[in-house]
A and B are shown apart, each in its own frame.
Chain A
Amino acid sequence: MKFFIDDLPVLFPYPRIYPEQYAYMCDLKKTLDAGGHCVLEMPSGTGKTVSLLSLIVAYQQHYPEHRKLIYCSRTMSEIEKALTELKALMKYREGQLGHTEDFRALGLTSRKNLCLHPSVKREKSGTVVDARCRSLTAGFVKEKKERGEDVDLCIYHENLDLLEPHNLVPTGVFTLDGLIKYGEQHKQCPYFSARRMMPFCNVIIYSYHYLLDPKIAERVSRELSKDCIVVFDEAHNIDNVCIESLSIDITEDSLRKATRGASNLERKIEELKSSDAEKLQNEYTKLVEGLREAEQAREEDQFISNPVLPDDLLKEAVPGNIRRAEHFVSFLKRFIEYLKTRMKVTHTISETPPSFLTHLKDLTYIERKPLRFCAERLTSLVRTLELVNIEDYQPLQEVATFATLVATYDKGFCLILEPFESETATVPNPVLHFTCLDAAIAIKPVFDRFSSVIITSGTLSPLEMYPKMLGFTTVLQESYSMTLARRSFLPMIVTRGSDQAQVSSGFQIRNDPGVVRNYGNLVLEFARITPDGIVVFFPSYLYMESIISMWQGMGILDSIWNYKLILVETPDAQESSLALETYRTACCNGRGAVLFCVARGKVSEGIDFDHHYGRAVLCIGVPFQYTESRILKARLEFLRENYRIRENDFLSFDAMRHAAQCLGRVLRGKDDYGVMVLADRRFQKKRTQLPKWISQAMLESETNLSTDMAVATAKSFLRTMAQPFKAKDQEGISTWSLADLERHLAKQRQEEDRMKRETLADAQANNGFHRNGAGIADHDEFDDGIDEDLVMLDAQ
């Protein structure tokens, strides 16, 4: 259908549109017009991606600026899905407009996923693929070949040079699969085709990391212009992605490898000194002059790029004591040796960057300044030495990146030294966690650089948390409710068992047999009444294991077994995917199954249980994070001190976003239906923190149920849902045809006119002054559910 938002003609590739899709597009347009960032929470299964793409493509094509769209998603399958939607959209537009638009869209993923080289593509590890690819494609390798040396080149990459550089692939939308197929047919490298074509694309779809991870962003996303529209889809975890992209873990093993790397560098320098001393001398001269190697920086495949550095530093010349290659290598060795001494710890230590630097200086005379230049200096050296087998230098690069970061940021980072790698380990394997505490650091360049950044997901409540944590301001924050013709999902909070005893995964009572039995009965009862699939989420693997074994002892598992097959998610990815497959089969063949999984695991994030794959989801307990973790404690303290986010508020927010993610798994569209059960007495207080579309659908009477009441309610709900439901019944209410939309618009205009008249009258009466946005409802009731689990945190 075709409709207008203000003056913008939008082509929407379906004959019907959901009201929330329309509202979403209007708000998107407002944001783009205003030039600013926004946070939009759109219910899952309401066609967020297609709305987003339809509007932005319409926007691009209509206005003369032709702002480029950078669409970031989390996984390869989501990227592929978005590309497919876009392809369909463009096809629809072509049909409607009667001509093909000059339009390009490409997706980008790692070399490992796109490689066509017969031997390289067989490598299992991504870093190995990267390294081998580089050894066949780097600029100096080709130079060598031209000088007549015997080196291998990748033919797929070479072929690209025969094509017009701005027209490596034809216009149109290529899915990743499509791109690989095209590459195979034309014997050209899909990865480099996509990379090189990025400046000429209208839409680029890739993973978060290409923008957020400074090591990658510098290479891939540098040339994107300021007016690009950046979208982060499924962004409810974006703060964690930001933090991970700047956090580094260093182990004794990686230090050993780094030492080996440094020694190799030393040898290479000696070799080069005797064979081609001029090269080193050239590098040295450049560094003395403080010239950045502009032409080389543009080379499409740098070895490392710099972590986020302040601009003024980048303009400065490299300090004198690491200008010479051999001095720099000895500097690195000293630094690595120092780190080794720090690994000899017997208990956990946490330290701030300044105190780390002081101690470092006392022992090794390494100062902050040269340390800051470490990553950059290493890049330059590696380039000068023309190293091929870079995967050997990976650990050294990590150390250099760490050096640069620790010397650059006084705040927002924390070093934690732990003698054991994990809680359960008994053999010491010390780890140095260099943890980023401030999600805003990694994403700051994105907000600084791009005028419109759109953060969107199905679960972003409370919306104001994201601008706070990520340090940006929005022009618009909105959460949409879901319009439904019938009540197609039933969210409930179960606070008590049938015996009226309270249930909770709270620390004191979680192992109480009464509570465990009540939880068991809840699962059992739902297994009895629910058709096909049920998904049950636990707060952690540890808790899941203990409760399952207790259920085993109580005979509950056996009883469940009478109704459903039982499958369990494990930390092992392959085991889990096998379990998932069996689960799906059992759901399809009528046996029915129940899947036990973890609220922060893979299943909760990426896997959909639509239709009969999930008719009920049970959330056993509030999925709080493990609060004893040093890293978490440090982050909580940081959030309190710098963003005035209180520990409990954050933990509660974090738990609820994961709970909401779990609930969202079973509802993937408007024709779908399912029961959502939150089983913990503490959920009652927290329901305001659920996304609007879930909390709105929750009846007051269903927020404090016992197991038997919940089962009765669910039973009647499922019976109603089993009645045939015609798409027609939704029309005009939860789906609009063009006519419905126009009716809505007319009504809206009337309403606006009325408002305007009223305001005008008001204005005249009150000397024309109005204050907007006064009195935001203040309903933050004190949260006492959390306290029992949390002795106040003490990060020192």
Chain B
Amino acid sequence: MAVSPPSTMLSTIQSRDIPFQGSANARSPLTMTHADRELTEQLNDDVRRKYVKDKKLGEGTYAVVSLGYLKTDPSVFVAIKKIKVNAEYKDGLTMDAIREVKYLQELSHPNIIALHDVFSSKDQTLNLVLEYLPRGDLEMLIKDGNIQYGAADVKAWMGMLARGVWFCHENFVLHRDIKPNNLLIASDGEVKLADFGLARSFADPYLNMTHQVITRWYRPPELLYGARQYSGAVDVWSMGMVFAELLIRVPFVAGNSDLDQISKICEAFGTPTDDNWPGVSKLPNYFPPDRAHIIPLQGRDFFVRQFPTAGPVGADLLMSMCALDPRKRSTARQILSHSWWSTEPKPTKKEDLPKKAGGTKKMGDDMGRRVGQVDDGLFKNAARQLHF
């Protein structure tokens, strides 16, 4: 256990509204030994019996998500995510599930989906008891032409997203799959970062990480160039892409292959060179750009022009999130200190944010999907390999 919350965070952690049981027993399916099997089974049964499963909300390749509620108080709803037994893995557990449990247990924040409990069912599959988020995700809102929203709403959503990401980073967790359909919406309008199936903790120096993370349209240039050591800046880039998408309501840089993604990024923001990004040419998958097609880095004007809704201050913030060189990119902490939050318009109150019906089904689908996938099938054939 290398990750632990800083003591300053404890105050908020106390403020959970549902009296769920702690996680000591929740970890039992993972660390079971012969000696304490009986005890853990007993504990596991206790947890399982706390909840009643209701109807199925959605199903994906990876999990089945059902609505559930507390036996003692049927008005308290939860989402129960049952991980499908997968033939690929001997013990039936995918790494995704393990990561999800591992990191969600550690993180407790209003903008991060809460993991209430974990238990295994009789057929030895893992069940995660998650916070119930009935109002869909940001992708739904972005795509629905009938829903209109403005700068104040975008500011509110971005604020919640930035807080969630900041809290992850503050606790040394990289999310590595930030995108609109992983940002679920609670019944009170709060946006919550979900799907920690690709998350990991900050790496020690000299340790390689995989660059095959983050859904392509939200993947930063350093990962596209194959960097094996990187930082929270990767999540910040994804946030920048989400921000841009919220503003223009279509994915801002939507490449149809990794190569295409790089060239689209160059077109949009400028071509990375050793001048504007020292050392970029040393990255494993870097290839020198066509001399004739070097696009200079885009300045502030570009962002102001391209994203009029954000206003000049907002465009400035977005620009700081979209710096090609990860070292020049703002950190989550810096984002939250930006003056945009205090300029007009004020962020919309979460209860007044635009909403859309039919979110429950979407939550089920979102959570049942395997990480790194988007549901329009574009990525069906994308080979995903994870290196640990």
Contact = CB atoms under 8 A, between A and B. Distances in A.
Contact, chains A and B (beta carbon distance below 8 A):
yes
Interface of A: 763, 766-772
Q: Is the interface of A mostly helix, strand, loop or mixed?
A: loop
Interface stretch (B112-120, B160-168, B235-243, B377-385): B377-385
B285 interface: no
Contacts of A770: 381
A771 B377 CA distance: 9
B60 to A, nearest CB: 17
B256 interface: yes
A767 B256 contact: no
A424 to B, nearest CB: 42
B257 interface: yes
B357 to A, nearest CB: 10
B258 A767 contact: yes
A771 B257 CA distance: 9
Interface in B255-281: 256-258
A463 to B, nearest CB: 20
A341 B381 CA distance: 67
A768 B382 contact: yes
A768 B381 contact: yes
A763 B380 CA distance: 11
A770 B256 CA distance: 8
Nearest to B378: A771
Q: Is the interface of B mostly helix, strand, loop or mixed?
A: loop
9 contacts: A763-B381, A767-B257, A767-B258, A767-B382, A768-B381, A768-B383, A769-B256, A769-B257, A772-B377
Given A763-B381, A769-B379, 7 more contacts: A766-B257, A767-B258, A767-B382, A769-B257, A770-B381, A771-B378, A772-B377
A52 B382 CA distance: 38
A640 to B, nearest CB: 16
A768 B257 CA distance: 9
A771 B256 contact: yes
Contacts of B381: 763, 768-770
B111 to A, nearest CB: 30
A437 B258 CA distance: 46
Nearest to B259: A767
A771 B374 CA distance: 13
6 smallest beta-carbon distances between A and B, as pairs: A768-B381, A771-B256, A769-B257, A768-B383, A763-B381, A769-B382
Contacts of B257: 766-767, 769
Nearest to A762: B381
A763 B383 CA distance: 10
User: Which residue, of A766, A767, A769, A772, has the highest number of chain B Cβ atoms within 10 A?
Assistant: A769
B95 to A, nearest CB: 21
B251 to A, nearest CB: 13
B93 to A, nearest CB: 26
Interface string B351-388: 00000000000000000000000000111011100000
A767 B257 CA distance: 8
A315 to B, nearest CB: 15
B148 to A, nearest CB: 13
A763 B258 CA distance: 14
Nearest to A770: B381
A607 B379 CA distance: 51
A749 to B, nearest CB: 22
Nearest to A768: B381
B214 to A, nearest CB: 16
Contacts of A771: 256, 378
Contacts of B256: 769, 771
B269 to A, nearest CB: 22
Nearest to A766: B257
B298 to A, nearest CB: 26
Nearest to B379: A769
A450 to B, nearest CB: 16
B378 A767 contact: no
Contacts of A766: 257
